[in-house]
Every structure is written in structure tokens, then in C-alpha cells.
Amino acid sequence: MTNITKGLEGIVALETKISFIDGEKGILEYRGINIELLAEQSFDIVAYLLLHGEIPSMEDAHRFSKLLKTKRDIDAKTKSVLNLCNFNIEAMDALRTAVSHMSHCDPDLNDNSLDANLRKATRLIAKFPTIVAGFQRVREQKKLIEPDSELTHAGNFLYMLRGEKPNDVETRIMNADFVLSAEHELNASTFSTRVTVSTISDLHSAIISGLGTLKGPIHGGARLAVMNMISEIGTADKTEEYILHLIKNKQKIMGFGHRVYRTMDPRAKIFKKMAKELAEDNGDMNWYQIGEIMEEVITREIVVKKGKPIYPNVDFYAGIIYKYLNFPPKLATAIFAIGRISGWLAHCLEQYADNRLIRPRAKYIGEHNKRV
């Protein structure tokens, strides 16, 4: 009980077959497949891979996609829950509340078998985009848009959010965002879901744990912070002065640095290319140029001069993409969750399959033998 590792940094808590990270080389794999290859696949295929452990056959892929499409709708009571939410909250808060409500109505609520959990998992993956888009529509006092079964998981989300069908570039990039957000080993929110199911609690409770953890500004909430920071900078010519001020005052720069990676996050490399593509498609390079200048200044001032491996992480260029897609900042973390839920669910199923209660110890540093 003498060795304490603050934040459990570097501690190996369990074994997994779901994803692999090499932080020194900047490698991320889902089920043994490099993220660069998976970023070009449909989210449905990647979700199936995470849940079932293998790339589906064409027949299984078609069946799974069709099943997801049939489960997208949310019932009238869940829509009412969205209407009761405080509209000044983050969408994450509404999503958490909606998931809690849906658990009461789930036909498999008290069935913890693998088949029942796979059914619950499919419903949750399918309904997350509908809840997030629905809350934003309610917040804007607009009519909710019903899911379109002709559209992909990503295209349908953008359609339900905006009320008009997205173009091919936006759909492809939104799909890649969901894929790149889907899984990342034992991050804080994934660990929280595994702790929850290790008590043999239900799947909905675990997802609520994940949502609450992802919301934090130094985890999934960093995308919201990046969007706000980019807006505060405003124009590319003001970027260097802004970043130098943060560095001088030793303030945290959101979207940079990672507990695991000692080089650029492999997901950030892909997001950067997509951010440039969106900028060019929009005919406005400003947000992208701010990002490039930030990266250059931080590399020069921190990586080169101080020798610290502070590189863009997954949230940085994702936040810039969200700016180009015109997402409200309070929607950012919930959109991250639309992708990440598939990884959470895969970890929950893996934990259930070979469970041991996750119960670490703490070193007591208080007083002893005090009198009342």
C-alpha cells in the first residue's frame, strides 16, 4: 500500500481485445485494424466490429444497418422529457436524462443476458443521434425531424439536426468523426462504464456513468472548450499573441496534450486533413488557419524549446470541424458521445463476459486515534 500512482497513470487495470494504443509511435487500432483504415468505413460497420469482434460480412452488415435504422425513433414520452429540460444546459445533460428515462421503458430492462444486452446496445446506438438532434430542435423551438431510413447514421443525424439533407462531404466527414470518436481503450469514461457494470449493474446505468464522465472539460468536454477558444481568438492574425499569452501565464491550452500519446494523436492527423477539406469546401480558411498557427506556435515554444511532447489531440481539429459544420458549442460533447457509445458498449459486454468487481484501494493519510 505504499506505491501511489496519481490518476492511475500507467497502471494496467485489465486485459482487452477491443483496442490497442502505442503512444510512442502514435498507433491506434480497433480489434487489430488501424484507425486510418477504419476512418474510411461506415460507422455501422465499425460499431458492429466493436460489439461483435469482427468486420461483418456483407449480409451481416446490411442486416445490422437495417436494424439500426428501424430503432432510430424515440417514443413520445422521451420527446416530452426533452421538452422538460432546461434549454441553457449542455446537450450532454439532456442526453443523460433521456437515457435514464428510456431505461424505464426498455423491454429488456431487467434481462442482463448477452442477447438482451446486444438488443439494448443496438437501440442505444440508434437512438443517440435522434436524442441529440431532437434536443437541439426543441431548444431552437423548431419541429422535431423524424429519422430518414434512406440516410446513413451520419447523414441522418445532420438531417434531423438541420431539417435539410447534408452534402456528400459533410456526410463523409461526420461519419469519420463518429468512427474516430468510437473507441480509445481505457479512457476515463470507458473506465467508468466498466466500473459500473463490474457491480453487475445494468447497461443503461453504465452508459449514464460514461456520459457523466465524458462531459468533463479535460475529457470529452475539451471539444466544447476548443470551439469557444477558437471563437475567442476570432481571426488568424490574432492567434500567435493569444497562444503566447496562455503559455506565458502557464494556462492550459485545450485540445493539446494527451496522457498516453507522446507524438501527434493519430486521430488528430485525420481530423486535420478533414478540417482543411471542409474549410476549402466552405471557401473560408479562417478557422483552419487559426488551428495551424496554434499548432506551429505550440510546437516552437513548447515541443522544441522546452522538449515537452505537447501535440494536438483528438479534440483539437474535431472542434474546428464542428465550427465549420456550424454546431452550437453546447452540442459538441454530445456529438462526441454519439460515436463513443459504441466503444462503451463493447467494453461493457467484455466486462460482463469475464467480470471481477473493480475495487482498488486508497492510502489513508489522515489522523489516527482521535477522540470524540
For residue 226, give the CATH number of its domain: 1.10.230.10
Residue with cell 483504415: 37
User: Domain for residue 233, yes or no?
Assistant: yes
Same domain, 195 and 71: yes
**Confidence tier at 24 by pLDDT (50, 70, 90):** very high
pLDDT of residue 372 exceeding 90, the answer is no
User: Could you tell me what percent of the chain has a pLDDT over 90?
Assistant: 94
Domain that holds residue 271: 222-324
Give the pLDDT score at 1. Answer: 52
Note the pLDDT tens digit of each residue in 107-155.
Answer: 998 899 999 999 999 999 999 999 999 999 999 999 999 999 999 999 9
Give yes or no for residue 19 having a pLDDT over 90.
Answer: yes
Residue 206 has pLDDT above 90, yes or no: yes
Note whether 262 and 348 are same-domain residues. no
Mean pLDDT of the chain: 96
Q: Region 2-15: what's the mean pLDDT?
A: 87
* The predicted structure's pLDDT at residue 9: 86
Same domain, 32 and 181: yes
Let me know whether 265 and 203 are in one domain. no
> E strand or H helix at 191, and its extent?
helix 188-198
Active-site residues, by number, are 219, 258, 315
Alpha-carbon distances, residue 125 vs 91, 97, 337 (angstroms): 16, 16, 10
> Span 179-186, mean pLDDT?
97
**Calculated CA dihedral for residues 294, 240, 321, 168, nearest 10 degrees:** -100
% of the chain surpassing 70 pLDDT: 99
Residue 272 and residue 246 share a domain: yes
220 DSSP assignment: T
Residue 293 reports pLDDT greater than 70: yes
Phi-psi region at 307: left, alpha or beta (left = phi > 0; alpha = psi -120 to 50): left
The average pLDDT across 23-48 equals: 97
Q: What's the structural domain count of the chain?
A: 2
pLDDT at residue 281 is higher than 60: yes
